[in-house]
């Protein structure tokens, strides 16, 4: 039976509406999946959580396998133009950001066929150890599929990685791309439920009037809102409606 972590310490997301929906924040040590279609703000939301944590002197790391670090930071700063202190957090190593270079390092000088998932986990562990990260973002876990050959192996790999994060005492947020914006058409695979928490981000409505909304599907060890909560992406960060 899973441990009851209802009294566990929580990590504030720094996003008022999200903390309210999570009734205080993400339970420390949980492994969270942030899922949604393109353009809903998965990367931005996960970055903002790290930004606020780093400002609270919690060391963090973000590993992005699909975008170069410089390009990713330019996009983040352009969108969150009113957020200050990002460069300072990075220069002091309170916030580490690894971009596409990590994927190049992983596969660049190594024959991919000889590179195991264990090697991958070891490389992630090295990144965490560089600044003793307490929170890790992996954007996105689709990268793992390049290293495994079938669904069973992918599932075992996820189990192994999540167990490793728990062993290290790291709270993780991993993003995952979903193939549809249609909430009624979404189907959650068994892989999703390996995570302690699942938050789904949607685009709802017609093309000319899109609404962004977030839903907490589950959060092990904590009570949470079941509401569908609208949000906006603004220059000062993610703004969620009160519930």
> What is the C-alpha to C-alpha distance for residues 32 and 175, in angstroms, rounded to an integer?
9
SS3 of residue 140 by DSSP: coil
Instruction: Encode pLDDT of 174-209 as tens digits.
Output: 999 886 656 655 666 777 889 999 999 998 876 667
- Beta strands per DSSP E along 178-235: 197-204, 211-219, 228-234
In terms of pLDDT, which residue wins out, 147 or 128?
128
Q: How far apart are CA 198 and CA 27, in angstroms?
A: 13
Share of the chain above pLDDT 70, in %: 83
The mean of the pLDDT values for the chain is 85
| DSSP letter (8 states) at residue 209 | S
Which pLDDT belongs to residue 5?
Answer: 43
Alpha helical stretches, state H, the chain: 16-21, 42-55, 69-79, 86-91, 100-108, 117-131, 151-168
Pairing of strands 228-234, 237-240: antiparallel
Domain boundaries 10-240, CATH class: alpha beta
pLDDT of residue 37: 85
Query: Residue 4 pLDDT more than 70?
Result: no
Decide if pLDDT at 110 tops 80.
no
Q: Is the pLDDT of residue 108 over 60?
A: no
Mean pLDDT computed over 11-36 = 95
Stated pTM of the model:
0.89
């Amino acid at each position: 039976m899973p441990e009851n972590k209802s009294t566990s310490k929580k990590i504030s997301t720094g996003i008022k509406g999200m903390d309210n929906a999570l009734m205080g924040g993400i339970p420390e040590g949980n492994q969270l999946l942030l899922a949604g279609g393109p353009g809903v703000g998965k990367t931005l939301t996960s970055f903002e959580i790290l930004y606020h944590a780093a400002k609270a002197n919690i060391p963090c790391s973000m590993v992005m396998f699909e975008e170069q670090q410089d390009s990713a930071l330019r996009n983040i700063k352009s969108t969150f133009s009113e957020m200050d202190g990002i460069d300072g957090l990075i220069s002091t190593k309170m916030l580490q950001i690894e971009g596409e270079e990590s994927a190049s390092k992983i596969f660049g000088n190594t024959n991919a066929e000889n590179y195991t998932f264990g090697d991958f986990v070891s490389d992630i562990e090295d990144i965490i150890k560089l600044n003793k990260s307490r929170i890790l973002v992996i954007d996105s876990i689709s990268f793992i599929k390049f290293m495994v050959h079938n669904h069973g192996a992918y599932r075992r790999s996820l189990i192994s990685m999540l167990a490793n994060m728990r062993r290290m005492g790291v709270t993780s947020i991993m993003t995952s791309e979903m193939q549809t914006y249609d909430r009624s058409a979404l189907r959650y695979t068994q892989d999703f439920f390996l995570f302690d928490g699942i938050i789904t981000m949607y685009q709802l409505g017609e093309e000319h009037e899109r609404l962004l909304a977030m839903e907490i599907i589950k959060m092990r060890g904590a009570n949470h809102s079941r509401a569908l909560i609208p949000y906006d992406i603004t220059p000062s960060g993610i703004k969620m409606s009160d519930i």
